[in-house]
Structure 1
Amino acid sequence: MNTNGLTKTDKMKQTIQLVKGDFTVSDASDIMMSLIDEKINFHQKQRLQKWEQNHENNLGEIEERIKQLEKEKTVIQTFMLNAKNYHNTIAINGILEISII
């Protein structure tokens, strides 16, 4: 059996460098807002699909996650506004860890 050199542990967990670099405040803001907006959009679609399947589905968990992401979006916006006053460059190191559970 060819495993392409990956061990069992490697197959169970992967790390992906999603974003890395130094960006202008404007570009960093665009990147972060795009990522958060995509995640919010994903959950909104998921909420609609579950609601269409069963109008009595409990959507509280999805609603809560959307609210959390909206709060994070506000935090990022505030951070970026403050960053404009102090620096011209923002470093982003976004690592995505994926595990099979």
Structure 2
Amino acid sequence: METLVKPKTTQKIDLINGVFTASEASDIINSVLKVKINFHKISRLSITEGNDKEECIYDNKRINELINEQHIAKEFFSQARLNGKKLKMRSVIQIEMED
């Protein structure tokens, strides 16, 4: 009798899990945000290449949202630093296959 193995359709990545100084947390979060911003900028560039009239409103909106999150995070980390607080961070990336 042959057993069929069900293919894996989800994946979890435990990306961040620990207690950090404000400076460490700032470095981690800023690095992640920079990667996401650059991803969207490159996507926008590939869409608009050869078409300078293309606005790509969606990508610009997401870039602006991420830049705003950088500013909010900077303020938060400054407050934590001023108050001598450590920061507990946890981030799990959940990936699921879609049809």
**Could you tell me which of 74, 85, 101 is aligned with 2:71?**
74
1:96 and 2:67 aligned: no
Match of 2:56 in 1: 59
Identity of aligned residues (%): 30
Displacement, 1:55? 3.4
Match of 1:24 in 2: 21
Q: Distance between the aligned counterparts of 2:69 and 2:21, measured in 1? A: 20
User: Alignment partner of 1:91: what SS?
Assistant: strand
User: Alignment partner of 1:96: what SS?
Assistant: strand
Displacement, 1:54? 3.5
Match of 2:10 in 1: 13
CA deviations on 1:13-54 (whole Å, 9 max, x unpaired) are: 211101111111101100000000110011111111111153
Q: 1:100 to 1:56 in 2, by over 3 A?
A: farther
Structure 2's unaligned 5+ residue stretches are: none
Q: Distance between the aligned counterparts of 1:35 and 1:2, measured in 2? A: 39
Higher helix share: 1
Structure 1's unaligned 5+ residue stretches are: none
Larger Rg: 2
State how many pairs are aligned: 96
Match of 2:42 in 1: 45
Scaled by the length of structure 2, the TM-score of the pair is 0.85
Displacement, 1:2? 7.5
Match of 1:83 in 2: 80
User: Alignment partner of 2:78: what SS?
Assistant: helix
